[in-house]
A and B are shown apart, each in its own frame.
Chain A
Amino acid sequence: MSYIKKSPWLVHYDGSSCNGCDIEVLACLTPLYDVERFGIVNTGNPKHADIFLVTGGVNAQNLPVVKQIYEQMPEPKVVIAVGACACTGGVFHDCYNMIGGMDKAIPVDVYVPGCAARPEAIIDGVVKGLAVLEEKQKAVAVLAERAEEERETVLEPTVAMHKQQEAKK
């Protein structure tokens, strides 16, 4: 179990699934499972979200939509593929227009199996996703620290030098 400081928000999208996993994702939010007590909120806006819960094996028409939602999400972000068809294509793997698996469209961090995936499995997947999110946050923090160092050692002295030269003129 991981500990994170902020409540993770998630965005959910149906990438050509049969709907079974999507209603199980919604069932996670409702009183029996109730993930909202952990501060997890289902948001409709990809720019508000940290976690992308995505179902289905993605067909040709849905591919650009899935990619667009993924690209709109701010870094760091975690993608959780929910259900057998998001993992491998499932029963639809040899349909003529399915690309067969979410990882052929966008990078996936956690796979949740099941047809349909049970709410317990989805919650477990989200908890695993939180650990990945934490690592990614740390990586982003290291980058930010490096940028801060660079600002202190390179940028600020240069700016100060320029200001001195301006003053001399």
Chain B
Amino acid sequence: MGKSTVVPFGPQHPVLPEPIHLDLELQDEKVVKAIPSIGYIHRGLEKLVEKRGFQEYVYIAERVCGICSFGHGWGYSKAIEGLMEIEVPRRAEYLRTIWHELSRLHSHLLWVGLGADALGFESLFMHAWRLRETILDMIEQTTGGRVIFSVCKVGGVRRDISDHDLKEIVSRLEKLKKEIDGLTALILNDETIHARLKGVGTVSFEDAKALGCVGPTARASGVPLDYRCGDEGGAYKELGFKPVTDTAGDCFARCKVRLLELYQAIDLIKGCVENMPAGEIAVPVKGFPPAAEYFTRVEQPRGEAVYYVKGNKTKNLERFRLRTPTNANLAVLVKMLQGCDLADVPNIILTIDPCISCCER
């Protein structure tokens, strides 16, 4: 064994679209210890709640992260709706579910691409992003935006989707499903991908529970943690939802869970379209949030995000707190990196699907 050396990884690194810094302590090629340091994207958004009105802040909440933007807007609105005891129309909840699942589809396809790029499989990156564009087209057609849609508001949603558009979404998803079949078959049966991902960055069931990881990272280790199961909002309860899990806990399992969730998201959207209730899409919001607290959760593409709000009878909230999935998964990332090869570091980092702007807010 040689002397240990420290290799800095990031903040500007080709595999990372966002800056995070890791100090990797190496002994020869093995990582002994990884020390993450964050703060490159910290914008202080929680503090901004004191300067913006509670209805206006939905736009800021959406800009916590550009990938899971709809989920953040929804989570914040849900927390305010809980605080002010607003009953959201069922149609609005179904529309929110559709947009949230479309975001999940685009987020997971984006991840497949970035993960493939980290492996050096560039053509797969291109194909995954080509499929992602079809999802973005649907989002643009129904909301007007590509990555940040600003369609969720306190008390409901801003836009309705016509029956014609709903049918078109379903038929386009049918076509997309066939293409995803090809993508999935390729990833799950490719020998090179098996060699790179199987048995790498393994997290046991116990570790996953003890370190409190969330989302597909937890589900790949056999922890059936998915907030959509017990979600009061949205249409998940009525559609009968069961989380996708795997038991291996390695990079490959995390990849598989995300791929299977693509199918699940398509089925959920179809279910929403079939059972879409008629009626209003929003209720008017009167008054200011009361001097009370409320907390709620949303299952984001990367895992469970926790929203806490505290009102003080004025236009502005007193406190808004957000715990994001990447924040919860960083602890387990440090554990995964211990004992891995230096060449596997990019893969392992990407399989937790890090979203640094969520994490730092």
- A residues lining the B interface (CB < 8 Å): 12-14, 16-24, 26-27, 30-32, 43-46, 56-57, 59, 61-62, 65, 69, 91-92, 94-98, 115-116, 118
Let me know if B13 is at the binding interface, CB within 8 A.
Answer: yes
Which 5 A-B residue pairings sit nearest by Cβ, starting from the closest? A20-B66, A44-B14, A30-B129, A19-B66, A31-B130
Identify which of residues 291-319 in chain B touch chain A, using a CB-to-CB cut-off of 8 Å: none
A residues in contact with B12, CB < 8 Å: 13, 44, 46, 65, 69
Whole-angstrom distance between the alpha carbons of A61 and B64 in the complex? 18
Q: A62-B11, A116-B66 are in contact. List 18 more A-B contacts (CB 8 A).
A: A14-B18, A14-B41, A14-B357, A18-B65, A20-B63, A21-B66, A22-B18, A24-B147, A30-B132, A31-B133, A56-B41, A65-B19, A91-B60, A95-B45, A95-B47, A98-B43, A115-B148, A116-B148
CA distance A23 to B69 in the complex (A): 12
CB atoms of A91 and B63 under 8 A apart: yes
In contact, B19 and A14 (Cβ under 8 angstroms) = yes
Compute how far the CA of A42 lies from the CA of B222 in the bound complex, rounded to whole angstroms.
38
Output the least CB separation between A3 and chain B (Å).
Answer: 27
Measured CA separation A151–B171 after assembly (Å): 71
Contacting pair B148 A95 (CB below 8 A): no
Indicate if the CB atoms of A16 and B40 lie closer than 8 Å. yes
Nearest neighbor of B16 in chain A, beta-carbon distance:
A14
Min CB distance, A93 to chain B, in Å? 10
Count how many chain B residues have C-beta atoms less than 8 Å from C-beta atoms of the other chain.
Answer: 42
- Quick check: A94 and B133 within 8 Å, CB to CB? no
User: Binding site of B, secondary structure by majority: helix, strand, loop or mixed?
Assistant: loop
Cβ contacts under 8 Å, B257 to chain A = none
Distance of A130 from chain B, by nearest CB (Å): 23
Indicate if the CB atoms of A19 and B126 lie closer than 8 Å.
no
Interface residue from B41, B45, B147 paired with A23 (Cβ < 8 Å): B147
- Given A91-B60, A95-B48, check contact A59 B43 (CB 8 Å): yes
- Write out the residue numbers on chain A whose beta carbons fall within 8 Å of the beta carbon of B64: 18
Query: Which chain B residues border A43 with CB–CB below 8 Å?
Result: 14
A95 CA / B11 CA spacing, docked (Å): 22
User: B126 and A97: CB pair below 8 A?
Assistant: no
